[in-house]
Chains A and B, each alone.
Chain A
Amino acid sequence: MSSSTDSPTLTTETTQLSPQPDTETAKPTKKITLKSSDNQIFEVEESVAMEFATVKSFFEDSPSTDTVPLPNVTAKPLSQVIEFCKEQIKFKANPDEAQKKKYNAEFVTEKSDKDLVDMIPVANYLEIKDLLDVLNQAVADRIENKSVEYVRSFFGIDNDFTAEEEAALRREHAWAYEGVDED
């Protein structure tokens, strides 16, 4: 969290007098290493890693560590989550609600069902609330007004009802099965 202003050692008098010292942008930003469960290494900027509440508290507990192991997270969803958080950092610096909404919508639109669902436990584990909201809403939008069969195959759920039980449930709310989208 140290910045150029509270730098303890001073350089030359000329840089001190310089009205706009350019040290902020010139200084390389700190990188943090994340290791996925399938042993892939991700180097991310500190600001991005601090978006992950889990990683942040890991560093607060043991500040000397340089690699954070993420035993519950595989490489593919992690890379997508990092991609999302990198963009969110930009919106934090330059708030633009319309652009952010557009980006978030595009981010989920181009993902497959599997990608979306695989990212949810990752976002949940890393405690990235904004992403979790976006993912849950995107999955809800994809199954809203879809058939029961579509939803079973979407989540890989086996039907454990008997034919009679299922027929009874369908009779109970027959209207809810009308006007459903094609699979």
Chain B
Amino acid sequence: MSGSKMDAGSVSTLPEEMIIEILTRLAVKSLLRFKSVSKDWCSLITNPEFITAHLHNSTQKPSILLEGFRSEEEESSTLSLLHHRDTSTTFDFLRIPQSLMYDYTFMRNSFLNQEIYPDISFTLLGSTGGLLCSKVCDNLRIDYVLWNPATRNFIYAKRPRQIFKILLDGFGHNSKMNDYMLVKIGRLFQSPNLDAVMDIPFEIEKGDFVLRALVYSWRKHSWRLVYDCRIQSGVFYPRDDQAVSVKGEFYWHLHRPQDIILAFDTDNSVFRWIDFPRWNQYSTPVEVSLISGGIKDSLACSVFPNNGSTSLTIDIWVLDDSGAGVCSGESWTKLLTIPFLGTLHQVFVNV
């Protein structure tokens, strides 16, 4: 709009609740700038209630986060955001803030010789509530960073004091505690005398062992170690890198060697195994995949024809979950059947 529309007389200032209604519709970039309009606006824009209202408003029109890998071998991914609005669809390449990497290099350099340039990879772990959690790795260690691409703020997770061998990890939001959580599943590395902390990247384990979880609270900025001795893991292989998080519970799709789900409840700090829907209902070979974010606050999975099958539908199943104990294949309800769309690619939706 041009300045010519400005009337000579000054516009009467609106009451605060009406200003809020207008500001919740603005992009984060504008809001950060308008903190310097006045002291009232600054305290309004930084008010947690306003931030929650703004997030709620913007998730009515979620942006889709796309993650791409340039090649099969590439560890680092590129991220882009697709904004779909009434008037237009725009596309943003998400740049990893330079300062984020500088911080990382700085941290690394406090441990390493300055001459050695760390070979860093940056991988998306998950996304919820407009925040991205990424794994920043080099050959020696893994760090986790929570990144808000809208404000360009980021915050590193502290390193845990325990030396831990990671088998699985995941990121999600626990709405009951209004906390963002990072969960690492694995086993302790037996080196009690070492004070330095080190994460060893994924490596296949042999034999049974007790599962342990390291749970990070972004609210408290602290790790807590969870032992659950009731469950033996056996050998497993992660099927999907991404954990699915629904209502504070994390789910990983594993091969053991059959498909199975490992669940970890962050509220009660317990593990459990969940079977996929019964295979014998299907006459042809099928594949299963967990659905990112679940459906209507329940874990959901899709069952679709194996390569070469002639079946042309995908079934969507939802877990009827009492939240207690072991879930068998009977605990699933078929929600709907949709036409087979070809190969499925996982996308994250920023909600």
30 A-B pairs whose Cβ atoms sit less than 8 Å apart in the complex: A112-B6, A112-B7, A117-B11, A118-B12, A121-B15, A124-B18, A136-B18, A136-B22, A140-B23, A140-B25, A145-B27, A145-B30, A146-B30, A148-B34, A153-B10, A155-B14, A155-B19, A156-B10, A157-B13, A157-B38, A161-B39, A166-B36, A170-B36, A173-B33, A173-B35, A175-B152, A176-B30, A176-B33, A177-B33, A180-B33
- B19 CB contacts on chain A under 8 angstroms: 155
Partner of B5, one of A112, A147, A159: A112
- A118 CB contacts on chain B under 8 angstroms: 11-12
Which residues 15-48 of B sit at the A interface, judged by CB distance below 8 A?
Answer: 15, 18-19, 21-23, 25-27, 29-30, 32-42
- 7 smallest beta-carbon distances between A and B, as pairs: A140-B25, A156-B10, A114-B7, A176-B32, A173-B32, A169-B36, A176-B33
- B207 CB contacts on chain A under 8 angstroms: none
The smallest beta-carbon distance between B10 and chain A, in angstroms, is 4
Partner of B37, one of A124, A151, A183: A151
Q: Tell which of B6, B10, B27, B36 has the most Cβ of chain A within 10 Å.
A: B36
Complex CA–CA separation, A151 to B11 (angstroms): 11
- A140 CB contacts on chain B under 8 angstroms: 22-23, 25-26
A43 CB-CB contact with B under 8 Å: no
Instruction: Place the interface of chain B in its size category.
Output: 35 or more
Is there contact, CB below 8 Å, between A113 and B37? no
B194 CB-CB contact with A under 8 Å: no
- A169 CB contacts on chain B under 8 angstroms: 35-36, 42
Which positions in B face A, CB cutoff 8 Å? 1, 3, 5-7, 9-15, 18-19, 21-23, 25-27, 29-30, 32-42, 151-152
Which positions in A face B, CB cutoff 8 Å? 112-114, 117-118, 120-121, 124, 132, 136-137, 139-148, 151-161, 166, 169-170, 173, 175-177, 180, 183
Complex CA–CA separation, A136 to B34 (angstroms): 17
The smallest beta-carbon distance between B100 and chain A, in angstroms, is 13
Is there contact, CB below 8 Å, between A156 and B37? no
A-B pairs under 8 A by CB, number: 99
The smallest beta-carbon distance between A118 and chain B, in angstroms, is 7
The smallest beta-carbon distance between A17 and chain B, in angstroms, is 52
Partner of A154, one of B11, B23, B32, B41: B11
- B35 CB contacts on chain A under 8 angstroms: 169, 173
- A142 CB contacts on chain B under 8 angstroms: 1
Is there contact, CB below 8 Å, between B39 and A113? no
The smallest beta-carbon distance between A115 and chain B, in angstroms, is 8
- B10 CB contacts on chain A under 8 angstroms: 153, 156
Is there contact, CB below 8 Å, between A148 and B11? no
Is there contact, CB below 8 Å, between B38 and A161? yes
Q: Which residue from chain A places its CB closest to the CB of B31 in the assembled complex? A: A176
Is there contact, CB below 8 Å, between A151 and B14? no
- A148 CB contacts on chain B under 8 angstroms: 33-34, 36-37
The smallest beta-carbon distance between B2 and chain A, in angstroms, is 9
Complex CA–CA separation, A159 to B25 (angstroms): 23
Complex CA–CA separation, A144 to B152 (angstroms): 18
The smallest beta-carbon distance between A108 and chain B, in angstroms, is 10
